[in-house]
Amino acid sequence: MNRLFLIAIAFVGLLAFTACRSTKNIQKAIIKKDSVAVVVKDIQPTHLDTMKMVNAVLGGVAQKRIEFNTFSAKIRVDYENEKGRQPDFIANIRMLKDSLIWVSLSNDIGIEGIRVLISNDSIKILDKLANTYQVRPLSTIQEVSQIPFLFADLQNLLVGNPIFLNKDSITSYAHTVNGYTLLSIDVLFKNLISISNEYVIEKSKLDDNDPALNRTCNLVYTEYENKTGRLFSTMREIAIIQQNKLNVKLKFRDYKFNEELTFPFTVPKKFKRIK
């Protein structure tokens, strides 16, 4: 698959999922690796007090959910792979809710290299350095990540809303002085979520249920700001471990909500369409 295509979709979070742990050892492994000194208790339907606490936490998270019509941001992307530190780049993002995600990738001096337009059914990529153009179905995201990603999941990942948090899949709960911990076990993966006392997401650790995939991922949300009546994480860190490692830092700046946006994506005649 084209390397630039992989870079483009990796940026929007398509590699963020995760690794092999047995069900028996998952809680032990998570607590050991993340130094979370908590005691996780199984939720039983008869434990009404515990269920009420879980519902209260989820209610608090729901109240802090970021709702928007449009969103734009400039993001500095620092990343490191198995070959070491790679050149930083700038990503400009524009989103129209439930419709379009527009991404422009450029170097530090503003020379644009890649432009991406994601819709509900396709991904279009312009490589301005190679003068090429390609179109792929949105299902390519699922093929690359091996996760049933939906367009809405990409939106939530970029604005900082929780992803893959389903009340019905929560199996464990803990409360410490620093906040709350919920363990969600779904069909495909396990998700250990750390939530602050202010009900914002601090960390999401995902582990794949399929041991053959051997993947793990940590998503960390820090440097929250409240400039627009919303608590927004301006620093995201993504650590992915499979056969190789990938560490990505996303520093958000100049982010804005609900302003009028354009999504320019014109293919020059000289560009060659590739597969």
pLDDT in tens, 167-190: 788 888 898 899 999 998 887 788
Q: Shortest CA distance to 1 belongs to which of 161, 100, 140?
A: 140
Under the banding of pLDDT at 50, 70 and 90, the label for residue 8 is very low
Q: Is 43 exposed, middle or buried (0-12, 13-18, 19+ CB in 10 A)?
A: middle
Per-residue pLDDT at 144: 65
Q: What is the mean pLDDT of the chain?
A: 78
- Worst-scoring range by mean pLDDT, 10-19, 58-67, 192-201, 228-237? 10-19
**CA–CA dist 106, 115 (Å, integer):** 9
Per-residue pLDDT at 224: 96
- Is-above-0.85 flag for pTM? no
Per-residue pLDDT at 137: 87
Measured in degrees and rounded to the nearest 5, phi and psi for residue 9 equal: -80, -25
Residue 41 has pLDDT above 70, yes or no: no
**CA–CA dist 155, 106 (Å, integer):** 21
DSSP classification of residue 211: T
Task: Compare 38 and 179 and report the one with higher pLDDT.
Answer: 179
C-alpha distances in Å from residue 233, one per residue of 215, 226, 255, 264, 275: 25, 9, 11, 27, 36
CA 212 to chain centroid, in Å, comes to: 22
| CB burial string 6-19: b at 16+ within 10 A, e below | ebbbbbbbbbbbbb
Q: Report the pLDDT averaged over residues 191-218.
A: 86
Q: Report the pLDDT averaged over residues 74-92.
A: 83
C-alpha distances in Å from residue 43, one per residue of 28, 51, 150, 179, 264: 17, 7, 29, 18, 50
DSSP classification of residue 168: G
**CA–CA dist 112, 25 (Å, integer):** 46
Q: For a pLDDT cut of 70, what percent of the chain falls above it?
A: 79
Per-residue pLDDT at 17: 31
**CA–CA dist 88, 105 (Å, integer):** 10
**CA–CA dist 177, 63 (Å, integer):** 21
Task: Compare 261 and 169 and report the one with higher pLDDT.
Answer: 261
**CA–CA dist 53, 51 (Å, integer):** 5
Per-residue pLDDT at 148: 67
Q: Report the pLDDT averaged over residues 119-128.
A: 90
**CA–CA dist 118, 97 (Å, integer):** 12
* Domains and their CATH numbers in the chain: 13-269 (2.50.20.10)
pLDDT in tens, 43-61: 444 457 777 888 899 999 9
Task: Compare 173 and 262 and report the one with higher pLDDT.
Answer: 262
